[in-house]
Amino acid sequence: MSATLPFFPPAVFDRHREMTLRAIFDVGTGPDQRFFGGDAVAELERRIAAAAGVRHAVACANATGGLALVLDAWGITAGDEVIVPAYGCQPVVDTVVEQGATPVFADVDPRTFTIDPAAVAAAVTPRTAAILPAHVFATMADMPALVDLARRHGLRVLEDAAVAQGATLAGRAAGAWGDAGVYSFSQFKPFGAIGEGGIVLTDDEPTAIRCRRLRRAGTDDDTGDGAVGRHSRMDEVLARFLSLRWAELDRRLSRKREIAAFYQHRLRPVAEAGVVTLPLIPDSEPWCHVYAIMTDRRDELRAHLAARGIGSHIYYPVTLPMQPAFAAYASGMTFPHAEAVARDNLALPVWPELSENDLAYISDSIIEFFGRHTA
């Protein structure tokens, strides 16, 4: 049967029709007729820089483009190595390869699913130029340890916070820990929009200046000077839409934290029985983009939920080093923790409009499955 409680929220922007039309009208009838790099983009950059506590925010076409802008701005190229997680989203590695640099894979922590600082330390060589950690699911990478490691070795840190806008660690915002960071505004990210978009965060002025120039295909609007760059601009309609929707962000993040807390409590019996591992969500600074449990009966459980009209999702079922595009960079290497996460994770619905009854039905269906198979 089709899911009555799908994994991805249905009609995600239905109630934003008027807001969307207003954004289009405001931009389309504006006196300057600027559809890129105008007041709406500048306003959004100011809002996000202030919220993250950084000096500069540079809006761009998407988060992948933001990673590329930063690597380009830092001059990372052939002969350089960038340490990346063995588990996660493909663009993290794509951008390194496209720069001509070499991705060096490091295994992830078995509980957080994020890059393991000890594995990073073992991967550092004289050619290492940067570390590219990525936050996943509901736990930030160990940024204090990674930043300390980078400082000791004279390395840059590019923080992929694409899914972590609104998260904090030790009181500091995700995206603000590294020398630069990125957020994503694609549809199902924490602050998703009607299309794609991204933003670079940094306290480093030369990085910000270089990223601003590169996103305009290398052209300096003031002098007319040209250089090799990238075409990675955010359009004004999307920026205007995000600013109009700004007031919703805290509510959406708060509701997803409540949903995660519900699952943590309701699924405790199966976790205590040892048949499921629940995500590690810090009590002091909870955050949840994806709520993913771990079980060695993942595929059976997924089929059980589907039969009851509950959607679920498997994130990154193939580790990054095992993907054909990147296999040459990890020949003969194994990454047991990344492989375990890819094999056993199952993400449950967490869209904010889910009711308490919905969450109880999902949780109780999971408990029912394990009750049948462990009795």
Residue 219: pLDDT band by 50, 70, 90 thresholds?
low
Cβ(131)–Cβ(120) below 8 Å? yes
Structure tokens at 275: 């048949």
**Position 311 in a domain:** yes
Q: In the block, which residue shows the tokens 């980078």?
A: 150
Q: Which of 231, 246, 261 is the last residue of a domain?
A: 246
Structure tokens at 335: 């990454």
Q: 282 and 232: one domain? A: no
Q: 221 and 253: one domain? A: no
Structure tokens at 218: 């290398």
Please check the confidence at residue 241 and state whether its pLDDT lies above 50.
Answer: yes
Q: What is the pLDDT of residue 130?
A: 98
Q: 84 and 228: one domain? A: yes
Q: 263 and 162: one domain? A: no
**Position 5 in a domain:** no
Q: What is the mean pLDDT of residues 99-125?
A: 97
**Position 63 in a domain:** yes
**Rounded to an integer, what distance in angstroms lies between the CA atom of residue 198 and that of residue 232?**
9
Please check the confidence at residue 293 and state whether its pLDDT lies above 50.
Answer: yes
HSE of 305, CA atoms in CB hemisphere, 13 A: 26
Residue 69: pLDDT band by 50, 70, 90 thresholds?
very high
Q: What is the pLDDT of residue 37?
A: 74
Which of residues 31 and 127 earns the better pLDDT score? 127
Q: Which of 154-163, 199-208, 214-223 has the lowest mean pLDDT?
A: 214-223
**Position 2 in a domain:** no
Q: Which of 187, 218, 246 is the last residue of a domain?
A: 246
Q: How far, rounded to the nearest angstrom, does the alpha carbon of residue 242 sit from its chain's CA centroid? A: 17
Q: 241 and 305: one domain? A: no
- Annotate 239-293 with DSSP letters as a single string: HHHHHHTGGGHHHHHHHHHHHHHHHHHHTHHHHHTTS-B-----SSS---S-EEE
CATH number at residue 115: 3.40.640.10
CATH number at residue 279: 3.90.1150.10
Q: What is the pLDDT of residue 63?
A: 94
Q: 84 and 160: one domain? A: yes
**Position 124 in a domain:** yes
- Annotate 159-203 with DSSP letters as a single string: EE-TT-TT-EETTEETTSSSSEEEEE-STTSTT--SS--EEEEES
Q: 19 and 155: one domain? A: yes
DSSP state of 312: -
Q: What is the pLDDT of residue 38?
A: 82
HSE of 37, CA atoms in CB hemisphere, 13 A: 11
Q: Which of 198, 217, 246 is the last residue of a domain?
A: 246
Residue 32: pLDDT band by 50, 70, 90 thresholds?
confident
189 in catalytic set = yes
Phi, psi angle pair for 220, to nearest 5°:
-90, 115
Tell me which of 56, 135, 189, 210 is the catalytic residue: 189
Cβ(88)–Cβ(316) below 8 Å? yes
* Residue numbers of the domain that contains 327: 248-374
Q: What is the pLDDT of residue 222?
A: 44
Q: 100 and 242: one domain? A: yes
Name the pTM for this structure.
0.93
Name the range with the highest mean pLDDT among 94-103, 242-251, 276-285.
94-103
Name the range with the highest mean pLDDT among 34-48, 83-97, 216-230, 242-256.
83-97
Cβ density class 85-101: b for 16+ within 10 Å, e for less: bbbbbebbbbbbeebeb
**Position 3 in a domain:** no
Beta strand ranges found along the chain (DSSP E) = 56-60, 81-85, 102-106, 128-131, 156-160, 168-169, 172-173, 180-184, 198-202, 291-294, 345-348
Q: What is the mean pLDDT of residues 223-239?
A: 71
**Rounded to an integer, what distance in angstroms lies between the CA atom of residue 59 and that of residue 66?**
8
Average pLDDT over all residues of the chain: 91
Q: 199 and 288: one domain? A: no
**Rounded to an integer, what distance in angstroms lies between the CA atom of residue 303 and that of residue 327?**
31
Q: 205 and 287: one domain? A: no
Q: In the block, which residue shows the tokens 């480093």?
A: 204
Residue 75: pLDDT band by 50, 70, 90 thresholds?
very high
Strand partners, 347: 292, 313
Neighbour count for residue 159 (Cβ, 10 Å): 29
**Position 6 in a domain:** no
**Position 137 in a domain:** yes
Q: 185 and 255: one domain? A: no
Q: How many domains does the chain have?
A: 2
N- to C-terminal Cα separation, the chain = 27
**Rounded to an integer, what distance in angstroms lies between the CA atom of residue 145 and that of residue 152?**
11
Please check the confidence at residue 103 and state whether its pLDDT lies above 90.
Answer: yes
pLDDT for 312-327, tens place per residue? 999 999 999 999 999 9
Q: 110 and 128: one domain? A: yes
